[in-house]
């Protein structure tokens, strides 16, 4: 029963984390398009609160619950290479998360050099990672 509770909490945490990973780059799009000081300050505040208040804790909770699941079922590593591929994507996603954090700081300092078009493409990265992770976990293709 503990395993199922941890799995549920892992999924809920992951959904919260991805909500932020989808929304923050969208804020970057709007921030890059803004021209007035009030809008820029408002976007910086929204970005900072989303990153620190929601995304950071959700990422940590996702990792804690995921590690706990592995701890309760270490044999998962012998069930196929899918788990190794999933964990590799999670490491990439953590890197993406930190890239977003660095960008939050750049915007706050007024040092953004990228266009809204860049952020529209940047926003697609977590979508592709989520798609791959869900397929790996559900289908277990290898």
Give the residue numbers of the binding site for heme.
10, 86
Binding residue positions: 10, 86
Contact between residue 124 and residue 37 where contact means Cβ atoms under 8 Å apart: no
CA distances from 114 to 29, 107, 111 (A): 10, 10, 9
Nearest to 112 by CA among 56, 55, 33, 49: 33
Contact between residue 43 and residue 30 where contact means Cβ atoms under 8 Å apart: yes
């Amino acid at each position: 029963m503990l395993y199922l509770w941890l799995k549920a909490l892992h999924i809920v945490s992951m959904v919260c984390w991805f909500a932020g990973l989808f929304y923050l780059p969208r804020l970057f799009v709007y921030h890059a398009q803004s021209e007035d000081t009030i809008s820029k300050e408002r976007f910086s505040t929204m970005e900072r609160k989303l990153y620190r208040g929601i995304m950071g804790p959700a990422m940590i909770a996702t990792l804690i619950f995921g590690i706990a699941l592995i701890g309760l079922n270490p044999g998962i590593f012998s069930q196929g290479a899918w788990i190794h591929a999933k964990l590799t994507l999670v490491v990439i996603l953590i890197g993406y998360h930190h890239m977003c954090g660095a960008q939050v700081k750049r915007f706050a300092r007024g040092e953004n050099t990228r266009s809204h078009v860049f952020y529209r493409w940047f926003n697609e990265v977590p979508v592709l990672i989520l798609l791959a992770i869900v397929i790996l976990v559900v289908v277990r293709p290898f």
